[in-house]
């Protein structure tokens, strides 16, 4: 059961003021940690911790997206959360309206973000490298969860946009993974209206760089294949099995027709279910 301060539909004050007056804000994620313009909080109320995400301040002129666009992305995240109850996705408890837009109230997760700046990526003490040194079976368990979530989401019509290691949090003590910040995902298929779309080039399919190109489930298949390579190593230093290398390589073919035609088929091939993958 939610604390009374979060179990409501609307507040009349700005999120920071409201949360600080009702509980303990023990973490804040804003301009110092990311450039989206969103502001998120770790807040403790009645002995429980929650993650509260907001669109940030209406009058913030710096972010690349305006406040209205950020609000719509949060509402998109609410629609996506209704499409899957997979345990690797944080549970969305409540949406509270405020003068600065919606507050999305999620479970708190004691994990670390896998993404680090490119200059720190080779640092053996970074979260990224610590994760990649885990036993192969631990990494493959995380990949299984990532692929299963995306199979569910694509069945519901969602196409991955801006998925990268910044969407992955890992708790090294419990060996639990959470997939976060999927606000950019879109119902598809659709056409690339940007040219170079949002995302990390390490995870993006060729069509995500091509104005007018079709973006569909095969695009998400490519992203899932690249996720396997990023987490288990490049083809020449792949830590997984030869079969997994073969599956990831097919998923990442530049020729869309050579990839698996669905995330479900890709995931089945990854698991070794030949009939389901055919």
For the chain, the DSSP string reads ---TTTSSSB-SS-HHHHHHHHSEEEEEESTTT-SSS-EEEEEEETTEEEEEEE---TT---SSS-HHHHHHHHHHHHHHHTT---TTSPPEEEEEEETTEEEEEEE----EE----GGGTT-TTSHHHHHHTS-HHHHHHHHHHHHHHHHHHHHTTEE--S-SGGGEEEETTTTEEEE---TT-EESSEE-SSSS-SS-TTT--GGGGSTT-EESHHHHHHHHHHHHHHHH--GGG--S-HHHHHHHHHHT-SSGGGS-SSHHHHHHHHHT-HHHH-
Q: What is the rounded CA–CA span in Å between residue 139 and residue 141?
A: 5
Is residue 3 included in any domain, yes or no? no
CA distance 151 to 264: 5
The span from the CA of 262 to the CA of 86, in Å, is: 19
Taking 50 as the pLDDT cut, the residues of the chain under it are: none
Q: Indicate if 52 and 189 belong to the same structural domain.
A: no
Q: How many CA atoms lie within 13 A of 175 on its CB side?
A: 11
User: In this structure, what CATH number is given to the domain that contains residue 41?
Assistant: 3.30.200.20
Residues 121 and 220 in one domain: yes
Query: Are both 162 and 100 inside the same structural domain?
Result: no
pLDDT of residue 148: 97
In a domain? residue 65: yes
Q: Both 217 and 193 in a single domain?
A: yes
Joined together, the tokens standing for residue 201 give: 């080039």
Q: Residue 157 domain-assigned? A: yes
| Cα–Cα distance, 202 to 218 (Å, whole number) | 17
The parent domain of residue 229 ranges over 112-277
pLDDT of residue 6: 96
Same domain as 67, residue 163: no
In a domain, 60, yes or no: yes
Query: 173-210, pLDDT tens digit by residue?
Result: 999 999 999 999 999 999 999 999 999 999 999 999 99
By CB atoms closer than 10 A (0-12, 13-18, 19+), residue 53 is buried
Residues 48 and 150 in one domain: no
pLDDT for 275 equals 53
pTM for this structure? Answer: 0.94
**What pLDDT does 63 receive?**
74
User: In terms of Cα–Cα distance, which of 101, 96, 34, 40 is closest to 67?
Assistant: 101
Q: How many domains does the chain have?
A: 2
For 101-114, how does the pLDDT look when each residue is reduced to its tens digit (9 = 90+)? Answer: 999 999 999 999 99
For residue 219, tell me if it sits in a domain. yes
In a domain, 1, yes or no: no
Q: Alpha-carbon distance 94 to 7, whole Å?
A: 7
Dihedral in degrees, nearest 10, Cα atoms 91, 93, 96, 100: -20
pLDDT of residue 181: 95
Please tell me the predicted confidence (pLDDT) of residue 65.
85
Task: Give CA–CA dist 93/96, Å, rounded.
Answer: 10
Judgement on whether residues 94 and 131 belong to the same structural domain of the protein: no
End of a domain among 75, 107, 139?
107
Q: Please indicate, yes or no, whether residues 126 and 141 belong to a single structural domain of this protein.
A: yes
Which of 107, 129, 158 terminates a domain? The answer is 107
């Amino acid at each position: 059961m939610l604390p009374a301060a979060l179990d409501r539909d609307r507040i009349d004050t700005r999120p920071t003021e409201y949360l600080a007056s009702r509980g303990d804000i023990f973490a804040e994620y804003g301009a110092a940690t990311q450039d989206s313009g969103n502001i998120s909080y770790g807040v403790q109320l009645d002995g429980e911790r929650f993650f509260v995400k907001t669109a940030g301040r209406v009058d913030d002129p710096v972010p690349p997206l305006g406040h209205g666009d950020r609000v719509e992305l949060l509402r998109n995240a609410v629609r996506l959360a209704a499409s899957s109850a997979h345990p690797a996705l944080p549970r969305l408890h409540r949406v509270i309206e405020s003068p600065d837009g919606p507050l999305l109230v999620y479970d708190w997760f004691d994990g670390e973000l896998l993404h680090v700046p490119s200059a720190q990526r080779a640092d053996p003490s970074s979260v990224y490298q610590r994760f990649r040194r885990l036993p192969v079976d631990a990494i493959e368990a995380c990949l299984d969860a990532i692929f299963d979530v995306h199979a569910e989401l694509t069945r519901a019509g969602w196409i991955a946009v801006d998925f990268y290691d910044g969407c992955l949090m890992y708790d090294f003590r419990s060996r639990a993974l959470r997939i976060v910040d999927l606000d950019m995902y879109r119902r598809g298929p659709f056409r690339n209206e940007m040219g170079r779309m949002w995302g990390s080039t390490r995870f993006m399919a060729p069509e995500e760089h091509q104005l007018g190109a079709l973006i569909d489930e095969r695009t998400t298949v490519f992203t899932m294949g690249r996720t396997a390579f990023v987490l288990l190593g490049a083809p020449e230093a792949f830590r997984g099995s030869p079969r997994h290398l073969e599956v990831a390589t097919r998923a990442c073919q530049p020729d869309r027709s050579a990839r698996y035609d669905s995330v479900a088929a890709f995931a089945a091939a990854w698991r070794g279910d030949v009939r389901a993958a055919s």
